Amino acid sequence: METETQNQLQDTAGEEVMIEADALVKTYGKGEKAVRALDGLSFRARRGTIFALLGPNGAGKSTAVKVLTTLTRPDEGKAAVAGTDVMGSPDRVRRTIGVVSQGTGVDIQATGRENLRLQGQLYGMRGRVLEQRATDLLELFGLADAADRIARGYSGGMRRRLDIAMALVHDPWVLFLDEPTTGLDPEVRADMWEQIAALAAEQDKTVLLTTHYLEEADQLAARVAIVDRGKVVAEGTPEELKSELRGDAVYVELDEPAADGAVRPALEPIAGVREVVVDGRALRARAEDGGRAVPSVLQALEARGIAVSSVRVARPSLDDVYLRYAGRTFQEAESEDTEVKK
């Protein structure tokens, strides 16, 4: 483990590391009510790439962002952004980063332009440079027409775009986007994806994105870290993570509920078919090559007199990856979390 904090780190592939989280621990509350939001979370994001922290609500993603952006301090662990120690020199880190936090940070009593102007002033920008920068960003994010209207009247998508514009006003190296598309319409979300992708690709910005949308991480991120209960349980490119599952998922819907014991022996001898699970009418299995396995599966079921109503083959999704590493599906994790919060 490198301990240097002032110099640029390089990872094993010789790439420049822009964000480094090392065994972060953060607990809220005390005694029995204590919640361990971060439980040894570690990851590294490379320069000029989008790195996603993927996990359900309450997994600790936002807490990680709060620590890395100097908003709050961890109980244990270390963090560095652009080679600067986050706890040691928070003010220096603040000048290097732009942050879009969960929800919004727009001052709804001010106009879009006034929001941007104040944000720039806090970073020491002024005069014509600042005015020009504000105008450019309003233009870039499609807010030119609304620039001098009070933000109270902005739509959710417009506020979000203004948030991102504000985070970019001082041209930071690293951009933190905490759930940037939560609560947006699907179309607006797709637009947002394009803009985020362009930031990393065209402007060499390092983006840390947190999301609980599997497609979002899949679409945008060069690397994904799956976060569950305050730690990273798996990390890699979306393709790596999916290919680790080896093979496709085969879903069969049976006409009538069947017993696990009756179905499993019928299917397991088929070459390439594994992990057969029957739950009522739903039969789930994994196959090296789903398309090829289907005829044999159907044949075997027919031979036992088990009627089938539908069959579906799917490439593994990040949802499957999540299930494998966290031991529960995304939906289960989300609903468990809501229960805890209540």
Partner 1 sequence: MTIVRHSYFMTIRHVRELLRQPWWIAVTLVQPVIWLLLFGALFKNVINIPGFHGTSYIEFLAPGVVVMTALFASGWGGMPLIDDIERGVTDRFLVSPVKRTALISGRLVHSSLTIAIQSVIIVVLALIDGAGFPGGFGGVVVMIVVAVMLGAAFGAISNGLALLARREETLIAIMNFVLLPLTFLSSAFMQQNLIPTWMQHVADFNPVNWAVVAGRSAVSANPDWGLIASRAGFLLALLLVCLAFATRAFRTYQRSV
Which residues in this chain contact partner 1 in the complex, by CB under 8 A? 28, 66, 69-73, 91, 94-95, 97, 99, 101-110, 114, 118-119, 121-124, 150, 166
- H-helix or E-strand containing 255? none
Give least dist CB 306 to partner 1, A. Answer: 55
Using the minimum distance from each CB to partner 1, give the nearer residue, 96 or 317.
96
**Tokens (6 digits) for 16:** 């420049």
**Tokens (6 digits) for 291:** 């398309």
Q: Are strands 50-54 and 223-228 parallel, antiparallel or unpaired?
A: parallel
Helix pair 186-203, 156-168: axis angle to 10 deg: 10
User: What span, in angstroms and rounded, lies between the C-alpha atoms of 277 and 249?
Assistant: 11
Give least dist CB 3 to partner 1, A. Answer: 25
Taking the C-alpha atoms of 336, 224, 42 and 71 in order, what is their torsion angle to the nearest 10 degrees? -80
Give least dist CB 109 to partner 1, A. Answer: 5
**Nearest-CA neighbor of 307 among 253, 249, 251?**
253
Exposed, middle or buried by CB within 10 Å (0-12, 13-18, 19+), for 55? buried
Give least dist CB 82 to partner 1, A. Answer: 15
Using the minimum distance from each CB to partner 1, give the nearer residue, 66 or 286.
66
**Tokens (6 digits) for 31:** 């005694």
In 3-state terms, the chain is what percent helix, strand and coil (to 5)?
40, 30, 35
Give least dist CB 91 to partner 1, A. Answer: 6
Using the minimum distance from each CB to partner 1, give the nearer residue, 14 or 127.
127
- H-helix or E-strand containing 248? strand 248-254
C-alpha distances in Å from residue 296, one per residue of 241, 250, 315? 28, 12, 19
Using the minimum distance from each CB to partner 1, give the nearer residue, 166 or 267.
166
Using the minimum distance from each CB to partner 1, give the nearer residue, 38 or 267.
38
**Cβ–Cβ under 8 Å, residues 55 and 39:** no
Give least dist CB 14 to partner 1, A. Answer: 31
Length of the chain: 342
Using the minimum distance from each CB to partner 1, give the nearer residue, 99 or 326.
99
**Cβ–Cβ under 8 Å, residues 330 and 211:** no
User: What span, in angstroms and rounded, lies between the C-alpha atoms of 75 and 41?
Assistant: 12
- H-helix or E-strand containing 45? strand 35-46
Give least dist CB 103 to partner 1, A. Answer: 5
Give least dist CB 262 to partner 1, A. Answer: 54
Using the minimum distance from each CB to partner 1, give the nearer residue, 71 or 197.
71
Give least dist CB 264 to partner 1, A. Answer: 50
Using the minimum distance from each CB to partner 1, give the nearer residue, 172 or 316.
172
Using the minimum distance from each CB to partner 1, give the nearer residue, 84 or 119.
119
